[in-house]
Structures are given as structure tokens and as C-alpha cells.
């Protein structure tokens, strides 16, 4: 099997795991550690020890750490101001996993796409479920949507924003 076929198979397996996580989060508002923690570990191992790595080992490690710490810090700031959690730590672990697989440089694009789609999707979710704007909704599926876009079309957002129209 050629290395391109193996990379495509790895991408497909990663997308299937992420889709399963999105399904779980939509139904339960939970992203189980049983899946997110091994996803971080496997992403770090894949990028650290494989000849087919998506990014280098340092970028993978930094992606996992920054991905987790960004949402952890955001939640702690929100908790300090509002005295309640604003985002689940499953989302932080999921972003850490995406950072482990795709590297730290993918995180800004993932967060932007997830936030933009999360605003639109959140409004739709709340309307369909007849909830008010203070009701929670799962953010994991939007992180997953953004992660899959970054996996299939790396740096698409940067290319669109920085393209030189001629």
C-alpha cells in the first residue's frame, strides 16, 4: 500500500472517530475521556514516531498543550467572572487532541471556524430545541467540524484570507 493511501486511511479513521465524538456530544453534552485522551496520545505518537506525520513532534506537543490550555484558561476566566463554567473540559481535551494531530499552527483556524459555525449553529440549536440564549449547547461538534476542515484542507482559512486577488 502506498504512503498516500495510508495517509488517506489515517485521515478517514480520524474523521470517523471525530464524527463519533460529535454524535456523542450532541446526544449527551459529554466528550468522554475514554476517547479524547487516547486521541491525544495517538496523535502525539503518530506525529512523533511515524514517517507519515502530519506535523513535527514539537509542533504536535505544543498543539496538544496549547489546545487544552487555551480552553482551560478561557473557562477559568469565565468561571472567575460568572461563577459558573462556560465550556466543558471535554472541549478542551478535544482541542488538545486536534492540536496533537494537526499542530499548534492549526489552532487559530480551528478556533475561528468553530466559533463562527458555533454562533450560527448555536442559534439554530437553541431555536430548534426551544431554549433561551442562556441554555447550554454542545460546542464539540463545531470544533470537530473545524478540525475536519483543517485536516482535509490545511490552512484553507489563511489561504482564503491572504490570497492576492488579481
CA 133 – CA 156 distance, rounded (Å): 31
Please return the burial class of 69, using the count of CB atoms within 10 Å of its CB with bins 0-12, 13-18 and 19+.
middle
pLDDT at 85: 81
Nearby residues of 152 by Cβ (< 8 Å), 6 or more positions away? 11
pLDDT at 47: 97
Domains in the chain: boundaries: 31-161
pLDDT at 83: 84
This prediction has a pTM of 0.90
pLDDT in tens, 21-36: 999 999 999 999 999 9
Q: Per-block average pLDDT, block size 10, for the chain (166 residues)?
A: 88 97 95 97 97 95 97 92 86 98 95 93 81 79 96 76 64
pLDDT at 165: 62
Contact present, 64 and 96 (Cβ < 8 Å): yes
Amino acid at each position: 500500500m502506498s504512503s498516500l493511501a495510508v495517509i488517506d486511511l489515517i485521515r478517514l479513521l480520524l474523521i470517523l472517530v471525530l464524527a463519533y465524538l460529535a454524535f456523542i456530544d450532541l446526544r449527551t453534552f459529554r466528550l468522554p475521556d475514554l476517547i479524547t485522551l487516547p486521541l491525544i496520545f495517538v496523535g502525539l505518537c503518530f506525529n512523533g514516531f511515524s514517517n507519515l506525520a502530519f506535523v513535527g513532534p514539537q509542533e504536535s506537543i505544543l498543539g496538544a498543550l496549547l489546545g487544552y490550555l487555551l480552553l482551560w484558561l478561557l473557562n477559568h476566566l469565565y468561571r472567575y467572572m460568572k461563577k459558573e463554567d462556560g465550556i466543558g473540559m471535554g472541549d478542551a481535551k478535544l482541542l488538545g487532541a486536534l492540536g496533537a494531530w494537526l499542530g499548534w499552527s492549526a489552532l487559530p483556524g480551528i478556533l475561528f471556524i468553530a466559533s463562527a459555525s458555533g454562533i450560527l449553529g448555536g442559534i439554530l440549536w437553541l431555536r430548534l430545541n426551544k431554549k433561551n440564549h442562556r441554555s447550554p449547547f454542545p460546542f464539540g461538534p463545531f470544533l470537530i467540524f473545524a478540525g475536519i476542515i483543517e485536516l482535509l484542507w490545511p490552512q484553507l482559512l489563511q489561504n482564503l484570507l491572504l490570497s492576492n486577488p488579481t
